[in-house]
Amino acid sequence: MKKQLCICDVEPVYLKKLAAYLNRKPEIFWKIKTYTELEWCLRERPDVLLLSGRALESWCRKKEADRLPDIIGTQVIFLDDDEKNPGIWPVIHKYQAADLIYEDLLQILAEDILLRTEVIGVYGPSDGPGAEKIAQNLGKSYCENGEVLIVTFVEYSTFLEGQSNGNSIGEWFYYYSQQIKDKIRLSDWAFKEDKLNYLHGFRTIYDQRGITLNDWQNFFKEGLQKSRYQTVILVFDRIPEYLELFLWCDSVYVDWGKDGYGDLRKKKFEKMTSYMEIQDLTKKFIEQ
């Protein structure tokens, strides 16, 4: 049986547009209903109620009540529209783009929503820009499945710096470590160009020195899997500090190079994985 999400707000046009957007998202497999009156929402007994401040204020005024309604068995998310916030529920800001509201819902309802972001690695030890080109071609082929984010860790990236406003993945790690929840959407730090979304890696080698394996686990779990992107492509021109980044990818596209040393690089890599007893890693590799 489908779970039910009710959205309650005083603006019918807003409700219609938001519900239409959410219904197009495969992860939101719930039954979505909209109401302008809180009383009708409460009769539905939904699993989740997205409730605006103006709708709550209207209910209190009609009931001449100075207390909150009894909402039992329902998870309430407050849709902040500048009305008084009760301060007891998770908050999503109403006046923002629908895709950002959707991403906030993914953050809050992660345990109840079908989340599955495909993570693909691209590794080009001989040619960083070439690896980025492979990532772009892959990204364009995956666009039909939903939004695509390319995160590049290439030392001399060919992706436009000017479009990023100086933002990088380092911002996500910083704000996550500070537990600043409204700053941990990957989309806040990415930029879009020609249907693809891009996020630059660390600005300097010093910025990533304090990032632990546990931090990377949180990035995969909280950053990638709770994002609005259906596909995320990580691009490397060097072996990452933690080979787990390759292991956690669903697949890794590899270009060993066509400069006459490709076979040598491949043999050395296989020798290293054998020494580390992670030979299964190469089973994820798709050679270009």
- Of 97-101, 139-143, 158-162, give the range with the top mean pLDDT: 139-143
Copy the structure tokens of residue 184.
């941990």
Q: Are residues 122 and 217 both part of a single domain?
A: yes
Residue 240 falls inside a structural domain: yes
**84 to 34, 81, 96, 97: CA distances (angstroms):** 21, 9, 18, 22
pLDDT attached to residue 67: 61
Is a pLDDT exceeding 70 seen at residue 1?
no
Is a pLDDT exceeding 70 seen at residue 29?
no
Q: Are residues 95 and 135 both part of a single domain?
A: no
- Of 3-7, 20-24, 137-141, 200-204, give the range with the top mean pLDDT: 137-141
Structural domain including 103 reads 4-108
Q: Does residue 152 contact residue 250 with C-beta atoms inside 8 Å?
A: no
Q: Are residues 161 and 90 both part of a single domain?
A: no
Residue 144 falls inside a structural domain: yes
- pTM for the model stands at 0.73
Residue 113 falls inside a structural domain: no
pLDDT attached to residue 165: 67
pLDDT attached to residue 202: 87
Amino acid at 196: L
Q: Are residues 40 and 136 both part of a single domain?
A: no
Is a pLDDT exceeding 80 seen at residue 34?
yes
* Reported confidence tier of residue 21, pLDDT bands at 50, 70, 90: confident
Residues 6+ apart with CB under 8 A from 248: 119, 220
- The CATH number of residue 57's host domain is 3.40.50.2300
Q: Does residue 151 contact residue 232 with C-beta atoms inside 8 Å?
A: yes
pLDDT attached to residue 185: 82
Domain boundary among 108, 136, 160: 108
Copy the structure tokens of residue 72.
């039992």
Is a pLDDT exceeding 80 seen at residue 268?
yes
- Each residue's pLDDT tens digit, 161-216: 656 566 888 888 888 888 776 667 888 888 888 889 999 988 887 888 889 989 99
- Across 9-18, 60-69, 141-150, least confident range: 60-69
pLDDT attached to residue 135: 95
- The CATH number of residue 171's host domain is 3.40.50.300
